[in-house]
A and B are shown apart, each in its own frame.
Chain A
Amino acid sequence: MGSSIETLVNREYQYGFVTEIEADTIAPGLNEDVIRLISSKKNEPEWLLDWRLKAFRRWQTMTEPHWPNVKYNPINYQAARYYSAPKSVKPLQSLDEVDPELLATYKKLGISLTEQKLLAGVAVDAIFDSVSVGTTMKDELAKHGVVFCSFTEAVHNYPELIQKYLGSVVPYSDNFFAALNSAVFSDGSFCYVPKGVRCPIELSTYFRINAAETGQFERTLIVADEGAYVSYLEGCTAPKRSTNQLHAAVVELVALDNAQIKYSTVQNWYAGDKDGVGGIYNFVTKRGKAHTNSKISWTQVETGSAITWKYPSVILQGDNSTGEFYSVALVNNKQQADTGTKMIHIGKNTKSTIISKGISAGEGQNSYRGRVQMLPKATGSRNYTQCDSMLIGNKCGAHTFPYIEIANDSSTTEHEASTSKIGEDQIFYCKARGLNAEHAISLIVSGFCREVFKELPMEFALEAQQLLGISLEGSVG
């Protein structure tokens, strides 16, 4: 960057506060007794405990993956706490019973849980550390037969659905972090949209890590029955702490025949400070299974976390199914991201689109990693992939690792990638029209990301755009 661009001051991470609340936290460490304790705290049925234990035993035989292009100090899994819940959370009759301290926390985060001030047209499940503190608009959803509740509630109220679909897309043995999550997951969101129902409002889960030294391990399971439609949003923040915290979530999507699921994420976990101290390790497994004629669409805007490791994927199981992945990943300071997608084409005439925009600033390292696989029977299938990287500053890196595996001749794949510096001529052009450097860069970057932003629901798109501007501050100087 030319010297003409003034040093911009880093704005503080505005969600970095800590809520003082009495919590029910278990001692650090991980063994079968801890898993039994978590399960008993949640009053779980035997089958779920068995599943957790199987996952745990499997996890013990696995090793942490080191193929991602990220570097970090070894994680001591015995030093983390695997359960922390605000003491005040009990089965609630209504949201009015939610601890005012928690309501205040969410208000500060811009999420209103009180029924009077609901976000228009959005139902929210708020997850605070390990547990759900409340789900809004349940009545409205119930009218349409849509189930949207915490995972814990779902285990008790819809055991047959959970038993049928839990682990059906991401088995507990899938990978190291998925196995860990399966063993210790504490809560999460569950959504079921019945046959032919178009969910009338956006569903949203807001994840908040609060307690120190606590890992967050939530699970999300969304099932769209035949012909159903649902749009789901996910937001994440955490306090600023000087130690790293682990977030190992699992998201499973099931789109049955003719169903459609749109899953959007704006991930803004605490990224650590400019020297790379603290921040969330975001090691997440997200995958959807698309049945005949169905469509699963992932959109993600990843600006937070010290390390991001996630590959929202689609198994295109059914004929004519569609998978989409739209991603913006931004790293600044010492952040590292290794993210991308897998599109596994199994059914005939399946289609996938991948649009990935990576922005690297400061000393950030950003990797796109993707796999497009067309199996022999996935005849007549198509994939289009475009991954572009933009570099801002001379200490960052952008890396692209696509795997394209084609095993039939009637499918077509097209992959394009580019990496380039943010255009100095573009910055000058903006400045010559009166925009300052910061404004110019955020404008150019948001233009660069436009194809992804337009996939986000309106309110989210604005938030994402602002977030991008904030995350980039201090990236030039």
Chain B
Amino acid sequence: MGDGRGVSMQTSMQTYTDAFAAASASGGSAPAWLTGLRRRAHDEFVATGFPTTRNEDWHFTSVTPIAERTFKTPKVGTGAASVTDALALAAGESGWPRAVFVNGRFDSALSALGALGKDIRVATLPDALTEGPDWVANHLGSLAAFDKQAFTAFNTAFVNDGLVVRVPKNVKAPAPLHIIHVADASAAGCVIHPRLLVVVDANAELAIVESFVSTGSAEYLTNAVAEVRIGEGARVHHYKVQRESAEAFHVGTLQAHQSRGSLFHSFSYATGAALSRTNIYTKLAGEGAEARLNGLYLVDGTQHVDHQTFVEHIAPNCSSRELYKGILDGASHGVFNGKVFVDPEAQKTDGKQTNHALLLSPQARVDTKPQLEIFADDVKCTHGATVGRLDAIALFYMKSRGIGADAARALLTYAFAAEVLETVEIDSLKDALEAIAFQRFTNQVQR
């Protein structure tokens, strides 16, 4: 980190501050709570600045390439994505209810939310603000804390478009809600701040597939924030499919809050972006809650992919299960940082975290930091981590049965990934993700 970054960072910060001032001046219709929230987030963002590798949470991931660029706000109405292109990349079914955002803006022509049924309330953030329901005001920004979290603060300062979803008590969504973020060629040089708020009331159930795709090869920054509040006995599945352009930067934070007896199941699939960071955080705040956090990343070339998970056990008798796998080729760099925290009150916690990385090339690199912080005594927590290459004996065995070297490698690599793909509970999504993975193992590179 030389002086270069210092100067360019100051420039970019100034630009963002100016943009913030301009947005504040023009957007007069926002309610006071929102302008206050944006203002606080902006001030925090300016005060904190982008993290450096001296920040323990960013030790293995340098965001200098993001910090030294100055990203613009995308122009409204430049999107030209075709729905078929976007859907093909987004790994969903065409019949699912979908909300499509192009370069950060909701595209009503591409979206189709009817299939979600009338019980479930879903609206864009601007629409929700016009209607002004209390729950949006109460919950937006209440989970995704931005104190010392530069990217979350950055998003919150510029929060504008986005989606809010409310599933009332006892309602089960008939189909997965597919949220598709498309960046096209005109996103080049821009920063997009997707925002999602999900409130699932007691005993309700919702599955969300959130896809980040690109129809071009532009360099842009996606800086997403999602907040998911899960009521008593409710069940939420969140699948994130990150297939940004090869030049893109992606930072995404999801913060869940779980009440008694609830389930939060997250799956993060990452194959895209030059540099990506996914944060999946959940707080098990009610007794008997369960969290399942799984993920798979496949990278090559000079891609850098970073996952950080944080499972906060606050209440007793909760369980958490975590399985992350990574497959790294070329000179790619994978990072996994998983923390399980157990509060003194969280007795009888049962936590298990596993992460495995497979290196397919001598230049690939992995940094792993699984952490346990335990303050309660009656707990059972474990973590395991391995890093290695394909099992030479298994390879030999397959070759001895007449399978060619490339096929054997592809098969074993696929087998490595299969265990975690099995945790995807939507069959068509699992098939689609498997297909994407398989293409990569057989060198038909397509992000």
Q: Do chains A and B touch in the complex (CB under 8 A)?
A: yes
Tell me whether B377 and A391 are in contact (CB under 8 A): yes
Q: Assuming the A-B contacts A393-B377, A404-B369, are A417 and B388 also in contact, with contact meaning beta carbons closer than 8 angstroms in the complex?
A: no
Most chain A Cβ neighbours within 10 Å, of B366, B368, B377, B380: B377
User: Which residues of B, 369-391, contact A by the 8 Å Cβ criterion?
Assistant: 369-389
Complex-state Cα separation, A406 to B373, whole angstroms: 24
Q: How far is the CA of A450 from the CA of B311 in the complex (A)?
A: 32
Q: How far is the CA of A415 from the CA of B387 in the complex (A)?
A: 9
B362 at the interface (CB under 8 A from A): yes
Give the interface size class of chain A.
Answer: 35 or more
Pair A413/B385 contact, Cβ less than 8 Å: yes
Confirm or deny: B344 has a beta carbon within 8 angstroms of a beta carbon on chain A. yes
In contact, A418 and B374 (Cβ under 8 angstroms): no
Q: Tell me if A416 counts as interface (CB < 8 A to partner B).
A: yes
A-chain residues with CB within 8 Å of residue B439 when the two chains form the complex: none
- When C-beta atoms are compared, the residue in chain B nearest to A400 turns out to be B372
Is B359 part of the binding interface, using a Cβ–Cβ cutoff of 8 Å? yes
- Provided the pairs A376-B362, A399-B372 are in contact, do residues A394 and B344 lie with their beta carbons within 8 angstroms? yes
A401 touches B371 (CB 8 A): yes
Interface hits, B391-422 → A, CB 8 Å: none
Cβ-defined partner of A415 (8 Å) among B344, B385, B389: B385
- Determine whether B100 belongs to the interface, using a CB cutoff of 8 Å to chain A: no
* Contact, CB under 8 Å: A409 / B362: yes
Q: Given the interface contacts A391-B374, A391-B379, A394-B344, does A402 sit within 8 Å of B364 by beta carbon? A: no
The B-contacting residues of A in range 71-118, CB under 8 angstroms, are: none
B385, chain A: closest CB distance, angstroms:
4
Nearest Cβ on chain B to A306's Cβ, whole angstroms: 20
A421 lies within 8 A of chain B by Cβ: yes
- On whether the beta carbons of B370 and A399 are closer than 8 Å, the reply is no
| Cross-chain contact A404 with B366 (CB below 8 angstroms) | yes
Residue contact A399 to B374, C-beta cutoff 8 Å: yes
Q: Which residues of B contact A401 (CB under 8 A)?
A: 369, 371
Q: Once the chains bind, are A419 and B384 in contact (CB under 8 Å)?
A: no
Tell me whether B361 is interfacial, beta carbon within 8 Å: yes
Q: Which of B365, B371, B377 contacts A406 (CB 8 A)?
A: B365
CB distance from B8 to the nearest CB of A (A): 28
Closest Cβ–Cβ distance, residue B217 to chain A (whole Å): 28
Q: How far is the CA of A393 from the CA of B347 in the complex (A)?
A: 12
B374 / chain A contacts, CB cutoff of 8 Å: 389, 391, 397-399, 419
Shortest Cβ distance from A407 into B: residue? B365
Which residue of A67, A376, A404, A415 has the most chain B CB atoms within 10 A of its CB atom? A404
Interface presence of B190 (CB below 8 A): no
Residues in B neighbouring A406, C-beta threshold 8 A = 357, 359, 365-368, 387
Complex: A393 Cα to B377 Cα, angstroms = 6
Contact of B370 with A402 in the complex, beta carbons under 8 Å: yes
- A422–B111 CA distance with the chains assembled, in angstroms: 55
Query: Of A392, A393, A395, A417, which one neighbours B370 at CB under 8 angstroms?
Result: A417
Contact string against B for A residues 439-457, beta-carbon threshold 8 Å, 1 for contact and 0 otherwise: 0000000000000000000
A432 to chain B, nearest CB (A): 21
Say yes or no: is A341 at the interface (Cβ < 8 Å to chain B).
no
Contact residues in B for A413 (Cβ distance below 8 Å): 385-388
Instruction: Tell me if B377 and A402 are in contact (CB < 8 A).
Output: no
Cβ 8 A contact of A409, one of B59, B360, B371: B360
In the bound complex, residues from chain B placing their C-beta under 8 Å from that of A389 are 372, 374
Tell me if A40 is interfacial: C-beta within 8 Å of chain B.
no
CA A419 – CA B377 in complex, angstroms? 9
Closest to A382 in B: B388
Chain B, residue nearest A401 (CB):
B371
Q: What residues of chain A lie closer than 8 Å to B367, measured between beta carbons? A: 403-406
Q: Which of A395, A399, A403, A418 contacts B373 (CB 8 A)?
A: A399
Q: How far is the CB of B344 from chain A (nearest CB, A)?
A: 7
Is A459 close to B, CB under 8 A?
A: no
Contacts of A376 in B (CB 8 A): 362-363
- B56 contacts chain A at the CB level, 8 A cutoff: yes
Partner of A419, one of B366, B379, B385, B388: B379
B378 / chain A contacts, CB cutoff of 8 Å: 391, 394, 421
Q: Flag whether A412 is at the interface (Cβ < 8 A).
A: yes
Select A403's contact among B361, B369, B380, beta carbons within 8 Å.
B369
A248 interfacial by beta-carbon distance below 8 Å: no
Measured between alpha carbons, how far is A392 from B385 in the docked complex, in Å? 26
Q: Identify the interface centre among B361, B363, B372, B379: most chain A CB within 10 Å of its CB.
A: B372
Report the nearest A residue to B354, measured CB to CB. A416
Cβ-based interface call for A150 (8 A):
no
Q: Is the CB of B387 within 8 A of A402?
A: no
Chain A residues near B384 (CB, 8 Å)? 414-417
**Cβ contacts under 8 Å, A392 to chain B:** 377
Distance in angstroms between the alpha carbons of A165 and B71 in the assembled complex: 52
Q: Give the CA-CA distance A433 to B262 in the complex, in Å.
A: 43
Whether a CB of chain B sits under 8 angstroms from the CB of A411 is: yes
A419:B369 contact, CB within 8 angstroms = no
Q: What residues of chain A lie closer than 8 Å to B380, measured between beta carbons? A: 418-421
Closest chain B residue, CB of each to CB of A365: B375
* A400 x B371 contact (CB < 8 A): yes
B387 touches A418 (CB 8 A): no
Q: With the chains together, A395 CA to B389 CA distance in Å? A: 42
Closest to A405 in B: B367
Let me know if A137 is at the binding interface, CB within 8 A.
no
When C-beta atoms are compared, the residue in chain B nearest to A410 turns out to be B389
Query: Quick one: given A409-B362, A411-B388, are A404 and B368 in contact (CB under 8 Å)?
Result: yes
A357 CB to nearest chain B CB (Å): 14
Known: A391-B377, A394-B344, A399-B371. A408 touches B362 (CB 8 A): yes
Q: Does A354 contact B (CB under 8 A)?
A: no
Contact with B along A363-376 (1 / 0, CB 8 A): 00000000000001
Identify which of B360, B366, B369, B382 contacts A402 (C-beta below 8 A). B369
B137-159 contact mask (Cβ, 8 Å, vs A): 1 or 0:
00000000000000000000000
In Å, the complex CA distance between A410 and B383 comes to 23
Roughly how many angstroms separate A353 CA and B370 CA in the complex, as a whole number? Answer: 18
- What 3 A-B pairs are tightest by C-beta distance, nearest first? A409-B359, A412-B388, A391-B377
- 13 example contacts (A-B, Cβ-Cβ < 8 A) are as follows A379-B362, A389-B372, A399-B372, A402-B385, A403-B367, A403-B369, A410-B362, A410-B389, A411-B388, A412-B387, A416-B384, A417-B370, A421-B380
Not counting A406-B367, A415-B368, A421-B377, a sample of 12 additional A-B residue pairs whose C-beta atoms are within 8 angstroms of each other reads A67-B56, A394-B347, A394-B377, A399-B373, A400-B370, A401-B369, A403-B367, A404-B385, A408-B359, A412-B387, A415-B370, A418-B383
Q: Interface of A with B (CB < 8 Å)?
A: 67, 376, 379, 389, 391-421
Which B residues fall within an 8 A CB radius of A? 56, 59-60, 344, 347, 357, 359-389
